[in-house]
Structure formats: structure tokens, C-alpha cells
């Protein structure tokens, strides 16, 4: 079974969806580590309740962001993480981190990339006036939400939508799509050919 690590900055509902699949025996891996840049994150509480090793890495404990990131990297390596899953982790991992870590890193983003990368993707979609949005699971590269796409699914944007209602509609899909993508990668069904991801 692949050893899966998760990084999350906040609420951790995507982490919870992964924990549920794991506890019900449907995840092609074991969640062995949950880290956060925010020691207050609800995600850490969820990990604790599930009996998963977890650790906060507050910026204030380190002299630089680089040092903070190195501490996260060291810990993930100590836990022998083989696949890293970003679940609402609101920091961009540096090129050095990705180069040193060497294992695949996944992210979920609440838009149909390459539309609306970065912060507040749902608000960006509403302000742009698109009629369809959704979510994307992709490999992380050194860019911002720019890595090769594994899975995407669309949801409608309705005339009466608020940021909250659209976010909730997308989130429901995220909770199904992320475990599915993690399973595809963890069971070796995903092949990367440059930007193109083939799923067998
Ligand atoms: C999710 O909607 C996720 O797609 C988004 O943050 C939310 C985290 O929710 N991620 C990003 O915007 C990354 N740029 P959660 O903490 O409940 O899983």
C-alpha cells in the first residue's frame, strides 16, 4: 500500500473525504501523515481523531519560509511518504521542495483549469460570468495550479449563485473526485507523458 501524506491549511473537508474512503477500505494507500502550515487548522483535529500522525509547522517557528518548508519536507520524508496530496494547502511549494521530494504531488483546485488559477477561484468564476465551472485534480509542478491535469468535472453556475453556494456545489464534487484521482495514481493507473496524463 502506498504511503500517502496530506498537507492542508484549513477546514480539511477534502482530507475528511479521503479519511472516510481509507477507513472504509476503499483507498489504494494508507494516510500516514497530515501536516499543516496552520497549527489551528481543523484538518489537524480531523487527523488526530482518525489516529493519523499530524504536525503543525507555524511560520513563526522558523526564520524563513524556506526553513519552514524544509521542516515539512524532512517530516514527510521521515514518515516515508510516497505520494503527497495537497488538500486546501494555501502555499505554493518551491521548485527546490519538489526536486528534493521526488515523489508525485497532487493538488485539487476549485475551477476548470487553466481558468481561474490562484486564490478565490469560485469568486473569479462568478465575476467572469462563466456558466460552467468545476474542479480539477492535477500534478503539482513549479507553477501556480499549472501542472498536468488528471481529472476534471464540471458543475453549472446558476444565476442566483453566491460564492458560498457555488463553492458548496463544487466541493461536493471535489469530495468524490479527489479520492478517485488518488486511487488512480496510487494504483499505478496514471502515466504522464509531458503535459498529457493517460489513465488506464
Ligand atoms: C477546496 O475547495 C479546495 O479545492 C481549495 O480550497 C478548499 C479547501 O477546502 N483549494 C484551493 O483553492 C487551492 N488553490 P477543505 O479544506 O475543506 O478541503
| Domains of the chain, earliest start first | 1-103 (3.40.50.170), 107-200 (3.40.50.170)
Residue in 139, 3, 192 with CA at minimum distance from that of residue 83: 3
pLDDT at 49: 98
Residue in 181, 102, 121 with CA at minimum distance from that of residue 148: 181
Residue 184 CA to ligand 1 centre (angstroms) = 20
11 lines ligand 1 (CB under 6 A): yes
Mutate to test the pocket of ligand 1, among 31, 85, 110 (most ligand atoms within 8 A of CB): 110
Splitting the chain (200 residues) into consecutive groups of 10 residues, what average pLDDT does each group show?
98 98 98 98 98 98 98 98 98 97 98 98 98 99 97 99 98 98 98 97
Q: pTM here? A: 0.98
Dist CA 57 CA 41 (whole Å): 11
List the residue whose alpha carbon is closest to atom 1 of ligand 1. 88
Could you give the C-alpha distances from 29 to 60, 70, 132, in angstroms and in order? 33, 25, 33
Active-site amino acid positions: 109
Amino acid at each position: 500500500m502506498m504511503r500517502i501524506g496530506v498537507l492542508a491549511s484549513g477546514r480539511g473537508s477534502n482530507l475528511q473525504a479521503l479519511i472516510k474512503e481509507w477507513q472504509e477500505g476503499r483507498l489504494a494507500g494508507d494516510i500516514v501523515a497530515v501536516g499543516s502550515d496552520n497549527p489551528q487548522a481543523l484538518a489537524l483535529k480531523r487527523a488526530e481523531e482518525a489516529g493519523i500522525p499530524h504536525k503543525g509547522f507555524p511560520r513563526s517557528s522558523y526564520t524563513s519560509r524556506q526553513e519552514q518548508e524544509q521542516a515539512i519536507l524532512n517530516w514527510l520524508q521521515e514518515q516515508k511518504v510516497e505520494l503527497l496530496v495537497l488538500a486546501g494547502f494555501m502555499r505554493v511549494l518551491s521548485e527546490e521542495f519538489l526536486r528534493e521530494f521526488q515523489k508525485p504531488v497532487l493538488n485539487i483546485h476549485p475551477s476548470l483549469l487553466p481558468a481561474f488559477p490562484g486564490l478565490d477561484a469560485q469568486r473569479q468564476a462568478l465575476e467572469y460570468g462563466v456558466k460552467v465551472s468545476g474542479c480539477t485534480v492535477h500534478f503539482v509542478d513549479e507553477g501556480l495550479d499549472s501542472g498536468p491535469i488528471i481529472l476534471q468535472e464540471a458543475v453549472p453556475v446558476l444565476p442566483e449563485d453566491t460564492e458560498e453556494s457555488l463553492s458548496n456545489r463544487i466541493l461536493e464534487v471535489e469530495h468524490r473526485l479527489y479520492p478517485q484521482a488518488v486511487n488512480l495514481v496510487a494504483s499505478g493507473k496514471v502515466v504522464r507523458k509531458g503535459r498529457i496524463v493517460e489513465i488506464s
